């Protein structure tokens, strides 16, 4: 049993803690230690204050009390920044890929990097690539040969067609659809409900049906 702490303490962090419980129900692997945050002064009434272990200094002061970390944060840019910082500061801690037992895809042809979180109800197919610290939220679909770059965030019910490439730090809003063989450039944002039919430039924000750059 690996002792695991979740980075973040809000709603999505609680969902990751639930994901860990469901993984354990299928095959015990983790002992949930609690939540860690970057700044204790920024906790709000929406955070799970009673289960917060502390800020990142807690890891310095309690070496050996946790074995692994997982992100409970839905902001792609924050995850990339903190992932680099925490990996350098605490190189001995693991970042396991957390895959809910209900997730379906071809594991033999997939590549899943450290720190990936795949939530309940995700359905993928073949030759998928998930790069480090990516997150796929509830009930998304992902087609053949799709590539999700480092830190990519898919919010619930996103549909990714075959051959799509989402570069580093892309955020895709709830219910969006990205059609086959489209590339979404690094750190771009696809708005909720958008339908992306053409490549998206790095850093762009696109919305609407069909998706167009936001004025």
In a domain, 162, yes or no: yes
For the chain, what is the HEC assignment? CEEEEEECCCHHHHHHHHHHHHHHHHCCCEEEEEEECCCHHHCCCCCCHHHEEECCHHHHHCCCCCCEEEECCCCHHHHHHHHHHHHHHCCCCECCCEECCCCECCHHHCEECCCCEECCCCEECCCCEECCCCEECCCCEECCCCEECCCCEECCCCEECCCCEECCCCEECCCCEECCCCEECCCCEECCCCEECCCECCCCEEECCCCEECC
The whole-model pTM stands at 0.96
Instruction: Please say if the pLDDT value at position 18 is more than 80.
Output: yes
Q: Token pair 């799970």 is at which residue? A: 48
How do 165-166 and 183-184 pair as beta strands? parallel
Q: Are residues 51 and 143 in the same domain?
A: no
How large is the average pLDDT for residues 181-194? 98
Q: Are residues 69 and 121 in the same domain?
A: no
> What does the pLDDT read at residue 204?
98
Q: Are residues 101 and 186 in the same domain?
A: yes
In a domain, 127, yes or no: yes
Of 89, 113, 133, which residue constitutes the final position of a domain? 89
The pLDDT confidence band at residue 193, using thresholds 50, 70 and 90, is very high
Distance CA 161, CA 80 (A): 25
Instruction: Please say if the pLDDT value at position 46 is more than 90.
Output: yes
Q: Are residues 131 and 195 in the same domain?
A: yes
Of 60, 89, 118, which residue constitutes the final position of a domain? 89
Rg (CA), the chain: 17
Q: Are residues 169 and 194 in the same domain?
A: yes
Are the beta carbons of 195 and 177 closer than 8 angstroms? yes
How large is the average pLDDT for residues 118-127? 98
Of 89, 117, 148, which residue constitutes the final position of a domain? 89
> What does the pLDDT read at residue 215?
72
The CATH number assigned to the domain holding 43 equals: 3.40.50.20
Containing structural domain, residue 106: 97-200
Q: Are residues 101 and 81 in the same domain?
A: no
Neighbours of 61 (CB within 10 A): 8
Q: Are residues 76 and 106 in the same domain?
A: no
In a domain, 144, yes or no: yes
Q: Are residues 103 and 75 in the same domain?
A: no
The pLDDT confidence band at residue 19, using thresholds 50, 70 and 90, is very high
The CATH number assigned to the domain holding 173 equals: 2.160.10.10
Q: Are residues 164 and 113 in the same domain?
A: yes
Q: Are residues 75 and 103 in the same domain?
A: no
Look at the chain and report how many structural domains it folds into: 2
User: Model confidence over 59-113: pLDDT tens digits?
Assistant: 999 988 999 999 999 999 999 999 999 999 999 999 999 999 999 999 999 999 9
């Amino acid at each position: 049993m690996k002792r695991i702490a979740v980075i973040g303490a809000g709603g999505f962090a609680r969902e990751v803690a639930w994901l860990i419980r469901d993984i354990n129900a299928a095959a015990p692997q983790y002992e949930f230690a609690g939540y860690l945050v970057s700044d204790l002064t920024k906790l709000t009434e929406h955070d799970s204050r009673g289960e917060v272990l502390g800020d990142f200094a807690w890891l310095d002061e309690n070496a050996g009390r946790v074995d692994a970390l997982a992100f409970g944060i839905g902001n792609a840019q924050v995850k990339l920044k903190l992932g680099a910082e925490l990996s350098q500061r605490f190189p001995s801690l693991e970042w396991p890929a957390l895959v809910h037992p209900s997730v379906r895809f071809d594991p033999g042809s997939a590549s899943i990097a450290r720190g990936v979180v795949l939530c309940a109800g995700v359905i993928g197919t073949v030759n998928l690539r998930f790069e480090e610290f990516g997150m796929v939220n509830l009930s998304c679909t992902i087609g053949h040969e799709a590539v999700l770059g480092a830190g990519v965030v898919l919010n619930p019910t996103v549909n990714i067609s075959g051959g799509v490439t989402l570069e580093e730090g892309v955020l895709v809003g709830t219910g969006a659809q990205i059609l086959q063989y489209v590339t979404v450039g690094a750190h771009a944002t696809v708005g909720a409900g958008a339908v992306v039919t053409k490549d998206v430039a790095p850093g762009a924000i696109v919305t609407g049906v069909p998706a167009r750059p936001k004025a």
